[in-house]
A and B are shown apart, each in its own frame.
Chain A
Amino acid sequence: MNNQDQTAPLLEVRNLSKHFGAVRALNDFSMVVRPGEVVALAGDNGAGKTTLIKAISGVFQPTGGEILLRGQPVSFSTPQEAREKGIETIYQDLALADNLSIGANIFLGREPMRKAFGFLPVLDRKTMAEAAKATMGRLDFHVSRLEAPVSNFSGGQRQAVAIGRAVYWDAQILIMDEPTAALGVPEQRKVISLIHQLKAQGRGVIFISHNLQDIFAVSDRIVVLRRGVQAGERRISETNHDEVVKLMVGG
């Protein structure tokens, strides 16, 4: 554990602020994410979690403060730029095209092409299917029906596809906004085990959830937000539900 504290942070947020007019949605907030670490963000509704991840993922420009990726200051004007730098956001509402295969979803917007008959550019479905199989295999998710549209799969499996897309494009930081909220209990467990896989691969995960049980099951640290400021930060091994709830509500 102490060893992990000394590794260089993958992502560092320093004194980040985001003001909407007079509303201070996020104020002077700092946190770090190290490789192979899962950091949970907790907080009541309106505490500033969503503002924070939108600032990190390039949806909002922060009003003040800085974001460092492997020690280098970065700023993103669009989510695409953040994604190119390896910060991928996985939304709870499953950002997949249900009518396309797993491979087509992984490659959506960056489809590989090949030349048929030596001149005619066509979609390279074989490469997509193989990459899908390999990527999903890395997440311990074995599929044989690679041509089937993802609507044929369950919610947790589709969440796995969204995570697989991030893994394929080698995202180093995955921001997961309520990844278990829309899922049944067995599906939630599947996602939790996926997060363990990501951790084992040395990626950094920012995990946002209302579900303290999930947070305690998967996170290394928990950062609590309250009214836009950091209300506390605890190692999961050194805290309990009651303390976290107290931090969240300000008791």
Chain B
Amino acid sequence: MTSTPSTGETHVAPQADHGDPARSLIGRIAEGRAWLFLAGLIICFEVWSRTAFGATFVLNPFNVQSILIFAVAPLLLATGQTFVIISGGIDLSLGFIMGLAAVIAAHATNMAGAAMPVPLAMLAGILAAVIVAGVPGVINGLLISRLRIPPFIGTLGMFGVARGAAFLLAGGTTVPVQNSWFALLGNGKFYGVPYLVIITAIFVIVMHYLLSQTRFGQHNYAIGANAQAARRAGIDIKDHILRLYVLSAMCAGLGGALYAARFTAGAAQAGEPLLLDSVAAVVIGGASLFGGSGTIFGTVAGALVIAVIQYGLVFVNVEPFWQFIAVGVVIIISVLIDQAQRRFSGARQDE
């Protein structure tokens, strides 16, 4: 019998399907928890600042701008980190790759400035920073994919190498940039929106496209969930891992270049405190450190959560050390929610 089941029939007898919309609603809330966190935090700080100082927190455009600028550098690291963590790896070298890129951007812009017009020198500096950042990325990728070094160890080694290289290139100090366009890029605004924020927003959208709409992104999720299945499906895992770590290093490279623009100087320690923030942003954003889940927009929310906590606590005049505690608590809570959700869907499998 060649039956052609109508759509109505499949809904009447969903024998293969335990669809339950209520559960998927809870799942959706759990997935979007970073944005809920963010909304809750903003409301808390708004109430706090109104009761304590009679001033608005979030309706003040200067605050919003400052928070966004604050979030730019950790977010750039975290976009690359999102890809890596989804694949089941981790990249600990990003912080100092960013520092290395900041130093390179400063040197390259200054050197190029002697030979070409100011705007071109700026572009040359940014390009040099991103490309040079790719070098440790290639080494990370080769170590992890070809020599099977665990990502944690391989990138930890590169953390040291990039750190040393950055300080050597900077001569142990910060490298000032002489380039008016570069300074404008880092501090100027377009209709009140800082250029840095515009560049980061465009970059994040491109990365969201790469993760959610391309084969590269799809394979990244598959490798994170089941590398063996991905290999059996014919995905070239070695090649993918190599490209993955180059991508994350280049994200850090862009972060370094924008750092150099913002402070008109390249500093080797530029990304040092940002590495753990980047991992935290990815985790708060809903990714699992075991790989296979996470989104770029979740990471955006995660980075904003951290920025709002850090800036907000300063704004309401709390001792800055509370920032560490607050961010740490948020990380733990979001991992707990993730675990609870997993147990929830795990129970469904056993049914």
In contact, A109 and B234 (Cβ under 8 angstroms): yes
> Which of A109, A120, A121 is in CB contact (< 8 Å) with B233?
A109
Taking a contact as CB atoms under 8 Å apart, the answer to whether A145 and B17 are in contact is: yes
Contact status A98-B226, CB under 8 Å = yes
Does residue B286 face the partner (Cβ distance < 8 Å to A)? Answer: no
Q: Does any Cβ of A come within 8 Å of B54's Cβ?
A: no
Complex contacts, B222 vs chain A, CB 8 Å: 97, 99-100, 104, 108
A152:B233 contact, CB within 8 angstroms: no
**A95-B228, A99-B224, A142-B10 given; A151·B345 CB < 8 A:** yes
22 A-B pairs whose Cβ atoms sit less than 8 Å apart in the complex: A91-B232, A93-B228, A97-B226, A99-B221, A99-B292, A100-B225, A104-B218, A108-B222, A108-B235, A109-B230, A116-B213, A123-B213, A142-B9, A142-B14, A144-B14, A144-B19, A148-B19, A151-B345, A152-B345, A153-B16, A154-B351, A155-B349
Bits for A73-104, please: 1 = Cβ < 8 Å to B, else 0: 00000011001000000010111111110001
A96–B225 alpha-carbon span in the complex (Å): 9
B interface secondary structure, majority: helix
- CB pair A98 B214 closer than 8 Å: no
Residues of A within 8 A of B (CB): 79-80, 83, 91, 93-100, 104, 108-111, 113, 116, 120-123, 136-137, 141-145, 148, 151-155, 157, 160
Which B3-29 residues have C-beta < 8 A from chain A? 5, 9-11, 13-19, 24
Docked Cα-Cα span, A233 to B182, in Å, equals 79
* With known contacts A80-B234, A122-B213, A123-B215, A98–B19 Cβ distance under 8 A: no
How many positions in chain B have a CB within 8 Å of any CB in the partner chain?
36
* B107 at interface by CB-CB < 8 Å: no
Q: Tell me whether B229 is interfacial, beta carbon within 8 Å.
A: yes
A109, A111, A142, A154: the one contacting B5 at CB < 8 Å is A142
Whether A83 contacts B234 in the complex (CB less than 8 A), given A144-B17, A145-B19, comes out as yes
Q: How far is the CA of A144 from the CA of B224 in the complex (A)?
A: 26
A142, B15: Cβ atoms closer than 8 Å: yes
By a CB distance below 8 angstroms, the chain A residues around B16 are 136, 141-143, 153, 157, 160
How many cross-chain pairs have Cβ atoms below 8 Å apart between A and B? 100
Q: Choose one: A91, A97, A123; the contact of B225 (CB below 8 Å).
A: A97
- Whether A97 touches B229, Cβ cut-off 8 Å, given contacts A80-B234, A83-B234, A154-B349, is yes
- The distance from the CB of A205 to the nearest CB of chain B, in whole angstroms, is 19
- Contact status B226-A144, CB under 8 Å: no
Residue of A nearest to B350 (CB): A154
**A123 vs B218: C-alpha distance in the bound complex, in angstroms?**
9
Q: Write out the residue numbers on chain A whose beta carbons fall within 8 Å of the beta carbon of B219.
A: 108-109
CB <8 Å contact, A79 and B10: no
Bound Cα distance A154, B16 (Å):
9
- Residues of chain B within 8 A (CB-CB) of A137 are 5
Given contacts A97-B221, A122-B214, A144-B19, 18 further A-B contacts (CB under 8 A): A79-B232, A83-B234, A95-B228, A97-B292, A99-B222, A104-B218, A108-B219, A109-B230, A122-B209, A123-B213, A137-B5, A142-B5, A142-B16, A144-B14, A148-B19, A153-B16, A153-B349, A154-B349
Closest beta carbon of chain A to B338's beta carbon, Å: 13
- Mark each residue of chain B from 182 to 209: 1 if its CB lies under 8 Å from any CB of chain A, else 0: 0000000000000000000000000001
Taking a contact as CB atoms under 8 Å apart, the answer to whether A144 and B10 are in contact is yes
